[in-house]
Structure 1
Amino acid sequence: MDLETLLSFKWSIMTPEFIILGVITLLSLLDLFMAKSVNRKLLGWLGLAGILGALISLLSLMGNGPETILYDTFRLDSFAIAFKLLLLIGAALVFLIAISYEPKEGLNEYRGEFYYLFLAALLGAMMMSSSGDLITLFIGLELLSISSYILAGIRKKHSGSNESAMKYVVNGGISTSITIFGMSYVYGLTGTTNLLDMARHVITLADSQHIYLLGLAFFMIFVGLSFKVATAPFHMWAPDVYQGAPTPVTAFLSVVSKTAGFILIVRILMVIFYNIPTEGLGSMPLLIKVQDYIAFLAAATMIIGNVVALRQKNIKRLFAYSSIAQAGYLLVVVASMSAFLFDTLWFYLGAYLFMNLGAFAIIQLITQKTGSEDIAEFAGLYRKAPILAIAMAVFILSLAGIPGTAGFIGKLNIFMGALVVEPAHYVLVSIMIATTVVSYFYYFGVMVQMFFRPAANDEVKFKLPAGLGVVIGVCVFATILFGVAPNIALDFLQGNFNQFSDFFQ
């Protein structure tokens, strides 16, 4: 590629990514040359400023038609912008949680790495949302994954953190190898790595052996990505990693990483496999044929996540199984394949972002103060810190799907999407309702501790850091606002993204 061609690309559509990349470079250089005695929380605030700058630049790109550069490997469409908004907002809140993180053994020596590895993972997720090519998708996925492996084990003197990183690396390596093997089949049959070119090519395939190989590729890619979003039975890594990783990393994995995983699932499945005819031209697409398999996986994930959560005593482990159950609800959206798929997925991921990150901010505060992650440490929280208890109650009620919260509206959208299609997914919706009721037992168990159990030590006072205070305040406000007036978010989505009509262009 000559210089003239390189300069001809419209690089402005990558401004948010360039800002994040520039801040990563700046933080790594500052961390390298700063004296060890200097508190590196300053780097955290610089990183947060970079995320906010990227968010502002992304908002300025809204309203543009679908644009591509680098031979269609990077595309900026409505889907990319909408989900990058979630990624950047989630990353900003995680950064505020990370700045306030103070483990017992100290973190200042590695705090600089802590921040720019978060940004590197965010950059990978953003690249995934804008990728129009299997190669860039895979590079974005690995940038996110490798950064997450290191972040999970950043507490080098903590055995739980070391164990979580090891398990995450092993399971992540397995999932990556399965995913790339499935991708290689699709590439071999189409002769291209560009997603839209693949979609145009697979429509013409009529050989039953080719269709069989593409079906095999679908299952390998779907299984590999199921590891990434922790759906059953590929969830085995999540509880141990969530428990052992630093709390900000757990929050990041549960929200930002999960959002990126579903972005990747939708990008690949909807672009490539929705167009594959199963019995010649004009026949039912492959993705519709395998709906029942996706639905089965969604049902298993909801059941396992909610039932196993009933026996958990560690709060981070409980939220790990809660996260697995939430992945099951999101798979219902994918399995339904309704006309509202993108809208429902976007709204629920947004609602989950606020209610889960708010809960993790409170979990970090309490576990650091008490030195324990046992659910019993929440006993008597209403008497010691009533505002924190009420905020945590809001997040728990939203996670449980109680009316008046964003979580309820999100679940209602999923129900409606699964029922408006033909044929309607009555069994899947029934399982979702039943498992949601099961979730009340462990969610309300935390509330019982906060409001109805006596505190072991009433004299413990919680000093709320400014960063955590902002996270909790923003998350409570958003959880209630989008529960009472969901039309604000939905009108924003409809008014700015034109129903994602440019997704296949």
Structure 2
Amino acid sequence: MISIVLLSVFGLANLFLGFLRSNRILLPAAMLMLGTVLTVNFIDWNAGSQSFFNGMLVVDNFSVVFTGIVVLTALLLIPFSEKYVLDGQPNLAEYYSLLLFSLVGAIMMVSYNHLLMLFLGIEILSVAMYVLAGAQKTNLRSNEAALKYFLMGAFATGILLFGMALVYGATGTFELANIKFAVQNPVNASLTPMLYIGMLMMLIGIGFKVSAAPFHFWTPDVYEGTPTFFTAFMSTVVKTAGFAAFLKLLVQAFPAATAQGLWLPTLTAMCVLTLAIGNVGAVAQSSAKRMLAYSSVSHAGYLLIGLVAFNGELEGASANGIFFYSLAYSVATVAAFGVLKLVSDQRMREDYDALNGLAKTNPLLAFVMTVAMLSLAGIPLTGGFFGKFFVFSAAVENGHIGLVVFAVIMSMVSIYYYLRPIIAMYMRDADSDTIEPLQVSGFQSAALLLLALLTVVLGVLPGIIAGIL
């Protein structure tokens, strides 16, 4: 709860800093704010379950660790907005404030105990993303991305809200524990179809937010048109908060007895479809940024394996797998998008050819991008390897061996498109457009090294945080 209050206050304070007409104070101020929130967040660790707003919001270890991931992701991403500071971006204060406000929505999504609080969290997060997707007002691609995201997001929100209404009609409550009791002890069996339809509609609404197939169609176009800095935020924070909310809904509202008969087949089908479309779609891309968009879809599939493997407990192997995977994925994705932003800002291109010869013109960028690609591919000694290992292990323990085999095959497919940037950087000569050395500030270099270090540490010493839930 303290994190929500601080982010709200800091967001408003940051708007007032914008009146100073000096962007140079905004970047360190935003980092200081996020660092403060990240530190204060862990005050609630092992403090027991704390309820707020008549039990609509609950702060416990689950919410603390996922809040830590989203705030840490934003903190690691902020250094790559330095170009906006140097260019004198007139709306920078508003952009930073929208990011802070969106984190409020993300924290509500991981801490909710009432469906209305989940809805508010999703909307606070989504509205900020709609605006940031269209941040480049003179760029037609950015305008198109914002319009597509807004229209499709509005439809998904309507479906989600309708599903909540049907669940309320069938159970008479919005509170997760009371929904679980009503599902296990139905008063009127004739309302069961209404409950099932409501559950499926909620699954569709949340599936859109996390880019799960077949509700992923907006992802490639929106990610490609959105400014790269905000795309990185969208592909990490939104996905982490969405899956934490998804897991909480599945475990605390709809018990295993009901989920096994309805949710499990649906989630399994979505998982297989997401893995196939994400990985096969990424293979066909010529744009590195669009490849990362399809990569984001594929990683939604791996996280769905964690949901399929849930064992009825919020603090079990499935939850730990999703937590570790979300952290490893977020760190590697921020690193990949950070390098891509630095390259595209100076070379005005986002295709694989823009990376040609990068190992010679800027070895640091090439090294960090290589670590990020290897982690996303799940190569050993990176965080991505153990992320997949923990999720796959939870699935095998619950008997989903066929699904794990399919996921492993898809992981092998992903190696092809994750190696393409590495090949371009190390095995191709720089052409006339890419021969000039890229300019990277010391601040950004430190951020890139930290991201690479975190990725390696998670791959070498996973026990530091594994099993924290």
Q: Would you say the 8 A contact 2:170–2:192 is kept in 1? A: no
Q: Would you say the 8 A contact 1:362–1:388 is kept in 2? A: yes
Q: Please point out which of 469, 473, 476 is paired with 2:452.
A: 476
Are 2:105 and 1:139 aligned? no
| Deviation per residue, 1:424-470 (Å, 9 max, x gap) | 11221111011111111111111111111110136411221244223
* Counterparts of 1:176 and 1:290, CA distance in 2: 20
Are 2:342 and 1:361 aligned? no
Per the alignment, residue 496 of structure 1 pairs with none
- 2:216 counterpart SS class: coil
Cα offset, 1:211, TM superposition: 2.0
* Counterparts of 1:426 and 1:289, CA distance in 2: 20
Q: Would you say the 8 A contact 1:380–1:453 is kept in 2? A: yes
1:107–1:149 distance in 2 versus 1, CA, 3 Å:
farther
Q: Would you say the 8 A contact 1:375–1:446 is kept in 2? A: yes
* Counterparts of 2:85 and 2:428, CA distance in 1: 28
Per the alignment, residue 425 of structure 2 pairs with 450
Are 2:40 and 1:76 aligned? no
Aligned partner of 1:352: which letter?
A: Y
Per the alignment, residue 485 of structure 1 pairs with 461
Q: Would you say the 8 A contact 1:359–1:392 is kept in 2? A: yes
Are 2:39 and 1:56 aligned? yes
Q: Would you say the 8 A contact 2:23–2:85 is kept in 1? A: no
Q: Would you say the 8 A contact 1:178–1:223 is kept in 2? A: yes
Moved over 4 A (4+): none
Cα offset, 1:286, TM superposition: 3.1
Aligned partner of 2:293: which letter?
A: A
Unaligned runs of 5+ in 2: none
Per the alignment, residue 18 of structure 1 pairs with 5
Cα offset, 1:215, TM superposition: 1.1
Cα offset, 1:485, TM superposition: 1.1
- 2:135 counterpart SS class: coil
Per the alignment, residue 23 of structure 2 pairs with 40
Per the alignment, residue 170 of structure 1 pairs with 151
Are 2:74 and 1:91 aligned? yes
Per the alignment, residue 9 of structure 1 pairs with none
| Deviation per residue, 1:128-177 (Å, 9 max, x gap) | 11111111111111000000000000111111111100000011001100
1:120–1:467 distance in 2 versus 1, CA, 3 Å:
farther
| Deviation per residue, 1:244-301 (Å, 9 max, x gap) | 11111100011001111112211222211126xxxxxxxx333454312211110110
Q: What pairs with 1:399-414 in structure 2 (closer than 5 Å)?
A: 399-414=376-391
- Choose 464-473 or 148-157, whichever is displaced more: 464-473
Q: Please point out which of 262, 271, 278 is paired with 2:252.
A: 271
Q: What pairs with 1:263-412 in structure 2 (closer than 5 Å)?
A: 263-274=244-255, 284-338=257-311, 339-412=316-389
Are 2:413 and 1:438 aligned? yes
TM-score (norm 2): 0.96
* Counterparts of 1:59 and 1:378, CA distance in 2: 39
Q: What pairs with 1:236-255 in structure 2 (closer than 5 Å)?
A: 236-255=217-236
TM-score (norm 1): 0.89
Q: Would you say the 8 A contact 1:340–1:417 is kept in 2? A: yes
* Counterparts of 2:375 and 2:309, CA distance in 1: 23
Identity of aligned residues (%): 32
1:99–1:191 distance in 2 versus 1, CA, 3 Å:
farther
| Deviation per residue, 1:87-145 (Å, 9 max, x gap) | 11011112222234479xx5611111111011111111011111111111111110000
* Counterparts of 2:444 and 2:330, CA distance in 1: 15
Q: Would you say the 8 A contact 1:41–1:111 is kept in 2? A: no
- 1:177 counterpart SS class: helix
Aligned partner of 2:410: which letter?
A: T
Q: Please point out which of 87, 106, 115 is paired with 2:96.
A: 115
Q: Would you say the 8 A contact 2:196–2:262 is kept in 1? A: no
* Counterparts of 1:425 and 1:206, CA distance in 2: 33
Aligned partner of 2:197: which letter?
A: L
| Deviation per residue, 1:384-437 (Å, 9 max, x gap) | 11222121111101111111111011111122111111xx11221111011111
* Counterparts of 1:126 and 1:475, CA distance in 2: 23
Aligned partner of 1:156: which letter?
A: K
* Counterparts of 1:380 and 1:156, CA distance in 2: 32
Cα offset, 1:210, TM superposition: 2.0
Per the alignment, residue 179 of structure 2 pairs with 198
- 1:75 counterpart SS class: strand
1:208–1:473 distance in 2 versus 1, CA, 3 Å:
same
- Choose 139-148 or 212-221, whichever is displaced more: 212-221
* Counterparts of 1:102 and 1:234, CA distance in 2: 36
Q: Would you say the 8 A contact 1:228–1:258 is kept in 2? A: yes
* Counterparts of 1:107 and 1:164, CA distance in 2: 24
Per the alignment, residue 281 of structure 1 pairs with none
Aligned Cα root-mean-square deviation (Å): 1.6
Aligned partner of 2:377: which letter?
A: A
Cα offset, 1:476, TM superposition: 0.5
Q: Would you say the 8 A contact 1:100–1:465 is kept in 2? A: no
* Counterparts of 1:209 and 1:414, CA distance in 2: 37
* Counterparts of 2:444 and 2:155, CA distance in 1: 36
- 1:462 counterpart SS class: coil
* Counterparts of 1:449 and 1:213, CA distance in 2: 53
Are 2:146 and 1:159 aligned? no
Size of the aligned set, in residue pairs, is 464
Aligned partner of 2:205: which letter?
A: G
Per the alignment, residue 109 of structure 2 pairs with 128
Q: Would you say the 8 A contact 1:96–1:468 is kept in 2? A: yes
1:101–1:28 distance in 2 versus 1, CA, 3 Å:
closer
* Counterparts of 1:467 and 1:209, CA distance in 2: 62
- Choose 215-224 or 463-472, whichever is displaced more: 463-472
Per the alignment, residue 278 of structure 1 pairs with none
Aligned partner of 1:450: which letter?
A: M
Q: Please point out which of 11, 15, 29 is paired with 2:16.
A: 29
Aligned partner of 1:18: which letter?
A: V
- 1:273 counterpart SS class: coil
- 1:286 counterpart SS class: helix
Aligned partner of 2:110: which letter?
A: S
Q: Please point out which of 205, 221, 225 is paired with 2:202.
A: 221
